[in-house]
Amino acid sequence: MRTPETVYVPALTGLRGVAAWWVVLYHFSEPLWGVVPEWIYAFVKQGYLAVDLFFILSGFVIYLTSSASLQSLKWGGVSRFWINRLVRIYPLHLILMFSYLLNPLALWLFSESGGGEGRYDWAYYFASVFLIQNWGFFDDLQWNIPAWSISTELAAYLVAPVLMGVALVRLKKNQVWIFLGGLFGAIGLVLLFGLGGKTTIGEAIPTLGVARCVLEFWMGLCLGAICSMRGSTASQGDALRSVLIFLLFILTFWLMAEGIPNYWYAPAAFAALIYLLVKGDVVFSRFLSSSVVHYLGVISYSTYLVHYFVKDWVKFLSESIGMFQLAVYVIVCGAASVVLYRWVEVPSRGYLKRRLLGVSS
């Protein structure tokens, strides 16, 4: 039987790249108003949902790559998992946090607003260094804004062994029970945001971000378990699945246009999209697996972490914000992503794995 650790679905890497650039455009969307069709602008303005896709996708991939070692709950496997995840996320995050020290310095030296009070609180900075800034200690987002999701991902990684070694094992690898477990995660999101009177899943990030992440991470774990049990490699491309993905997009846009709060449908839609891509289709999987899009996925973590830093500096150095500034922002984000991936992510990951785990990559 094929083990989960052997599975790799290139389309999911490409999907991660598309999601990262969705966030990039979302955070610099002002110049697009009146330039692109209204439906495209509306789609870009939903870019904050990409983190929900990241959370579900993260749980899915973690199950496929780490379930065998984590379900036993042995310390060796658990500690190795935690080290692997920290090696993956922390070095680049630390580099960006050091880089962000330039921002309040520049504001203090050259801006009438001074040192950027309200955006560059030092208590928040030190919490960010340790990736605990979004664990309920603060009421807002500061410094490298997108890093809030990395903070919540760390929380998900910490509880992942319990989720897999206790919760999923107790479901006894029964597809129906595991599906119901994933459905419980989706219902939990509706209750969490609906009972709190929220209109979107992107609200109250400092207080609800961890719960949002862990519930969606759990949905991804359940989805990974189901796909693994049903045959986890992508099957031969199926035109019907392409049609289903297209209809999924149409349904999602319709629900969005109707004003339905997106916590009712977005997580479920992302889970369905991942499932269909894993099974394979003749259009979307091929596009996402293409060399350029796939590479965008490979460097997507660098893209995600660096883009807000680039945004801050483009806006700081510009007297106005228009299409030219957007073009500069996109070009610099792309170039910085390549540089950071090649010269920070890959070398630091290799070095730390050699030192901490005794492996070469």
Residue-wise pLDDT for 100-132, tens only, equals 999 999 888 887 666 566 789 999 999 999 999
243 in a domain, yes or no? yes
318 in a domain, yes or no? yes
Number of domains in the chain: 1
Residues of the chain with pLDDT under 70: 1-7, 112-117, 172, 230-237, 360-361
Domain containing 22 equals 4-356
| Coil, helix or strand at residue 238 | strand
Res 6: pLDDT: 47
Residue type, 98: F
Res 125: pLDDT: 97
Res 75: pLDDT: 83
d(C-alpha 165, C-alpha 159), whole Å: 10
Tell me the pLDDT tens digit for each residue of 251-308. Answer: 999 999 898 999 999 999 999 999 999 988 778 888 999 999 999 999 999 999 999 9
Res 115: pLDDT: 58
d(C-alpha 47, C-alpha 22), whole Å: 5
127 in a domain, yes or no? yes
Q: How far is CA 327 from CA 25, 299, 332, in A?
A: 11, 19, 9
d(C-alpha 170, C-alpha 161), whole Å: 13
| Coil, helix or strand at residue 54 | helix
| Coil, helix or strand at residue 281 | strand
Res 1: pLDDT: 34
| Coil, helix or strand at residue 72 | coil
361 in a domain, yes or no? no
User: What is the rounded end-to-end Cα distance, in angstroms, of the chain?
Assistant: 26
Res 114: pLDDT: 60
Q: H or E stretch including 260?
A: none
Res 281: pLDDT: 78
35 in a domain, yes or no? yes
Res 182: pLDDT: 92
d(C-alpha 161, C-alpha 223), whole Å: 16
Res 231: pLDDT: 58
233 in a domain, yes or no? yes
146 in a domain, yes or no? yes
Is the CB of residue 322 less than 8 Å from the CB of residue 308?
A: no
Res 51: pLDDT: 97
> Residue 127 is encoded by which pair of tokens?
């919490």
